[in-house]
Amino acid sequence: MALILLANAGTLFAGKVLLLAVALVLLAVDPFQRQSCIYNSRMALFIVSVLLH
């Protein structure tokens, strides 16, 4: 049982790290795509808010 919980926590943590990486990439790409700048920053903010929950 404890192993299953540990595995679940591990996958959740990995998922959060992956989402954070995606958010950072979206922010990094912003300057090169002016038209989607607002969309990218909103997506990044949404991802970060999901991570904080």
pLDDT digits (tens, 9 = 90+) for 20-38: 888 777 777 765 666 566 6
What is the total count of domains within the chain?
1
Q: Find the domain containing 18 and state its range.
A: 2-52
Mean pLDDT, the chain, rounded, equals 73
48, with CB counted inside 10 A (0-12, 13-18, 19+), is middle
- How many angstroms separate the CA atoms of 36 and 25, rounded? 13
pLDDT, greater one: 1 or 41: 41
Predicted TM-score (pTM) of the model is 0.45
Mean pLDDT of 7-15: 77
Tell me what pLDDT residue 35 has.
58
